[in-house]
Structure 1
Amino acid sequence: MALKKSDLYSSLWKSCDELRGGMDASQYKDYILTMLFVKYVSDKSKTDPDALITVPVGGSFDDMVALKGDKEIGDKVNKIIAKLAEASDLQKVIDLADFNDEEKLGKGKEMQDRISKLITIFQDLDFRGSRAEGDDLLGDAYEYLMRHFATESGKSKGQFYTPAEVSRVIAKLINVTPDTPRSATVYDPTCGSGSLLLKVASESSNGLTIYGQEKDNATWALSKMNMILHGNEIADIRKGDTITSPQFTTGDALDTFDFIVANPPFSIKSWGNGLENEFGRF
């Protein structure tokens, strides 16, 4: 039986309640989204033998379930995620959140109970039937969380998430249509969590070939997870400052794309860092 959006959203927001207090939204989003990712790929591996994400023995969500109540649960969850990251070449993507951080998750019994409850919430969700009649339930759930995290966290608001309404307007303006072929390329030089790229690509019934670059390491990791949760595992998302270190180049020339979209972080005053020496050469 397919999971209902309302049930999924309610459960996910309950998981956020388990982490409130020790950290703000800009921090606990990493824990929730990592747990969501591990649960999703673990469920998918049980039903899809061709899944691009490899879930190794000792690196699945079921291994986390077996740890509930364990005194060393934080350290052991970290090791499970590390195994999954290594098997799927996702180091520095899904292993950024430290589940053994006493400052954020509490010490001793407090950490033990908090992580155990978090695992229980996700344990009750079954993502094996999450895509029904073309409804991208997991992608929608990810967007739901990103939207709420952006709203709750003043210092991160708008920095990693572009509202869906804005994304759809941009897609219309650049004339992505339902008939646009999948071979058409779309690039975002400041892609954040990838929400703008995904919404623009979804305007084509075929999808688009996605490229992006993101400066912030944690946000780049969110983007990589976001692409996988939306079924775009092969999207090419690279890390680095687009202005001082563009990653998509051929020789001395910048690569070109069929569509380019962006929601630049206009509020960041230090965007020109690293350019002083470059300007001095002209």
Structure 2
Amino acid sequence: MALSAEQETMIWKTLNDTRGKIEPSEYKNYIFGIMFYKFLSEKAEGWVKENAGNQTWAELWEQDAVRASDFMKRSLGYVIQPSDLFSAWQSAISEDKFNVLMMSDSLSRFNKNLYGDAKEDFAGTFDDMDLTSTRLGNNAQMRTATMIDMINLMSKIETEDNTDVLGDLYEYLIGMFAANSGAKAGEFYTPHQVSDIMAQLLTSGRENKEQYSLYDPAMGSGSLLLTTASHMQRAGVRGAIKYYGQELITTLSFLKVREIVIDAIPKDLKLAMAAGIGIFIAFVGLQGGGLVVASKTSLVEIGSLAVPTTWLTIFGIFVIAILMAKKVPGSIFIGLVSTALLGLITGLIKMPANIISLAPSMKPTFGVGISYLPSVMDPQMWAVVLIFLLVAFFDTAGTLIGLAQQAGIIKDNKMPRIGQALMADSVSMLAGSVMGTTPTAAYVESSAGIAIGGKTGLTSLTVSILFVFSMFFSPLLTVVTNQVTAPALIVVGVLMASSLREIDWGKFEIAMPAFLTIVGMPLTYNISYGIAFGFLTYPILMFAAGRRKEVNYIMWILLFVFVLLLYVLNIVPKS
């Protein structure tokens, strides 16, 4: 590790001096925050030294603060004025002029002076550092003293370019928390005793291996991973131990690959994806409700009105539509219940034989997929894994964009907390595969919940708890037929299609990819294909229109990804 024994001792001493007031989880927020600010500050000073000749940053700022600020902002993406530099904090401390308000103002000014991509990257970085917390001290003077101790500590740790100091610091703190703290640290780390037993089981007979790989499906058992490392003979050799977590989709979320891709998608294509998904689920509803059926001559045609269950769908559509027009809360839910009750009363839906039933056993499917993992090493399976990865990747991306657009939470073409949403999606997909179910990814049917106001995490938690209870009432699910759910899907499709009005139809280079995305989803019965049509045409038409600089390089990469996807899915099987 880059941290010396002396630095480790200093870090732990400072923690012990303050841990009576600060929880370990909070302590790391301050330590990492100060360390990162120091890194950014030193980077800014180094940049000034390289680009300002013989002038200091203070001199440039004094001559023309606005010009100097713009100069740094456009180059680094952020501005730290001379009095806010980490070195300025150190000088103020040595002159007994430092106070916690000075630090608070510096961080506040940093947040206000972010520019370009840095605004997304650094916004809120220091929000976890609550400088008004009484845990730092009962008054400003005591809080100042605590911050001075931490700043002095970080002053003695060098942020070298060729070492991962933050990573080493994090690794050290986790190890110390796990080994030395009590129940409070155990709230967010695997208890050390449990970790040690598991670590010894994992490493038994392998202690002397040159390289060792650790796989953690939860990506959260930090103390377990590090305790395991402590039992290896080459634990101190960097690179000797490699850590892996989750399956491929989850790893991509952890590395923010999916987040980067989603952020790179142009606004008009995101709107088109939302509208396309809306039309797609409306088509699914029309088909499930019997209003649209397959035809040998024209692919689809109107369903038979002589079929009684089709009238259940029509009844449900009018009930929900009328209630929506009257702005009645819970319109869709009321429509679902009304349609189901009408079906039971008329005998079109059979009464369930039982109301309560034991949850079905998972024994036939639980863990079966794990036993076939060795098959993935077969080169012929690589293409299969890649295709499933790409399909799941873009199906989820399209669904999340459509749902977020419907919920109205996309701001400035960005989806807030998309990283957490993607991680939840990928973890649930991994869990589902272990359980033996089809992929438990984000589903377009969630739009029905959004339509009646379910837009927060509390909604998801409530639904998940109710799902647990619903396992014991599974016979009741037989009354929720396709004709009952179809009206909800059709109405939600109408709501999602409203994003069509925001697409820039006046520019053909945008209108064409958007249109192909929209019609591609229902006509191919596949969200990924609809996205492919749009992504294949957008970069090319923007280039032809002389707007190539507006196309993110990721869109060009995705063009080739979708060419590969379509080739493997459509040409390879036939050849």
TM-score for both structures, normalised by structure 1: 0.54
Distance 2:224 2:125 in 1: 17
What is aligned with 1:146? 174
- Is the alpha carbon distance of 1:239 and 1:204 closer, same or farther for their aligned partners in structure 2, counting shifts above 3 Å? same
Greater shift, 82-91 or 144-153, is seen at 82-91
- Maintained 8 Å contact 2:190/2:222: yes
- Maintained 8 Å contact 1:38/1:61: yes
- Maintained 8 Å contact 1:42/1:55: no
TM-score for both structures, normalised by structure 2: 0.31
Distance 2:238 2:36 in 1: 24
- Maintained 8 Å contact 2:41/2:86: yes
Deviation at 1:109, TM superposition (A): 1.8
Q: Map of 1:50-89 to 2, 5 A cutoff?
A: 56-58=78-80, 61-62=86-87, 64-65=89-90, 68=93, 69-71=97-99, 72-76=101-105, 78-79=107-108, 82=111, 87=119, 89=121
Deviation at 1:62, TM superposition (A): 4.0
AA aligned opposite 1:142: Y
What is aligned with 1:278? 467
- Is the alpha carbon distance of 1:172 and 1:73 closer, same or farther for their aligned partners in structure 2, counting shifts above 3 Å? farther
Deviation at 1:9, TM superposition (A): 0.5
Do residues 253 (structure 1) and 281 (structure 2) align? Answer: no
- SS of structure 2 residue aligned to 1:23: coil
AA aligned opposite 2:34: M
Q: Map of 1:166-185 to 2, 5 A cutoff?
A: none
Distance 1:156 1:27 in 2: 11
CA deviation digits over 1:177-201, x for unaligned, max 9? 9599xxxxx773352669849x89x
What is aligned with 1:191? 220
- SS of structure 1 residue aligned to 2:425: coil
AA aligned opposite 1:13: W
Distance 1:55 1:162 in 2: 41
- Maintained 8 Å contact 2:2/2:168: no
What is aligned with 2:139? 107
- Is the alpha carbon distance of 1:78 and 1:41 closer, same or farther for their aligned partners in structure 2, counting shifts above 3 Å? closer
- Is the alpha carbon distance of 1:110 and 1:31 closer, same or farther for their aligned partners in structure 2, counting shifts above 3 Å? same
Deviation at 1:63, TM superposition (A): 5.7
Distance 2:223 2:110 in 1: 22
CA deviation digits over 1:102-125, x for unaligned, max 9? 343331222222212321221122
AA aligned opposite 1:20: R
Which protein is richer in strand relative to its size? 1
CA deviation digits over 1:33-79, x for unaligned, max 9? 33334335655777899xxxx67322864464466433313523542
Do residues 5 (structure 1) and 186 (structure 2) align? Answer: no
- SS of structure 2 residue aligned to 1:246: helix
AA aligned opposite 1:31: Y
Distance 2:200 2:43 in 1: 29
AA aligned opposite 1:277: L
When the two chains are superposed, the root-mean-square deviation of aligned CA atoms in Å is: 5.4
- Maintained 8 Å contact 2:21/2:136: yes
Distance 1:274 1:148 in 2: 39
Distance 2:464 2:78 in 1: 44
- Is the alpha carbon distance of 1:80 and 1:124 closer, same or farther for their aligned partners in structure 2, counting shifts above 3 Å? farther
CA deviation digits over 1:160-187, x for unaligned, max 9? 35878756975999xx99599xxxxx77
- SS of structure 2 residue aligned to 1:98: coil
What is aligned with 2:420? 239
- Is the alpha carbon distance of 1:47 and 1:193 closer, same or farther for their aligned partners in structure 2, counting shifts above 3 Å? farther
Distance 1:42 1:167 in 2: 40
- Maintained 8 Å contact 2:79/2:110: no
How many residue pairs match? The answer is 231
Q: Map of 1:94-133 to 2, 5 A cutoff?
A: 94-128=126-160, 131=163
Deviation at 1:16, TM superposition (A): 1.6
- Is the alpha carbon distance of 1:21 and 1:205 closer, same or farther for their aligned partners in structure 2, counting shifts above 3 Å? closer
Distance 2:222 2:88 in 1: 28
AA aligned opposite 1:253: P
- Maintained 8 Å contact 2:189/2:221: yes
Deviation at 1:8, TM superposition (A): 1.9
Distance 1:43 1:240 in 2: 34
- SS of structure 2 residue aligned to 1:253: coil
AA aligned opposite 1:114: T
What is aligned with 1:268? none
- Is the alpha carbon distance of 1:28 and 1:158 closer, same or farther for their aligned partners in structure 2, counting shifts above 3 Å? same
Do residues 23 (structure 1) and 51 (structure 2) align? Answer: no
Deviation at 1:203, TM superposition (A): 9.6
Q: Where does the alignment leave 5 or more consecutive residues of structure 2 unmatched?
A: 51-75, 230-236, 248-253, 260-417, 431-437, 442-460, 475-575
AA aligned opposite 2:129: A
What is aligned with 2:188? 159
Distance 1:148 1:157 in 2: 12
- Maintained 8 Å contact 2:18/2:146: yes
Distance 1:28 1:73 in 2: 20
> Greater CA radius of gyration, 1 or 2?
2
- SS of structure 1 residue aligned to 2:22: coil
Distance 1:172 1:46 in 2: 50
Distance 2:199 2:143 in 1: 39
Deviation at 1:278, TM superposition (A): 1.3
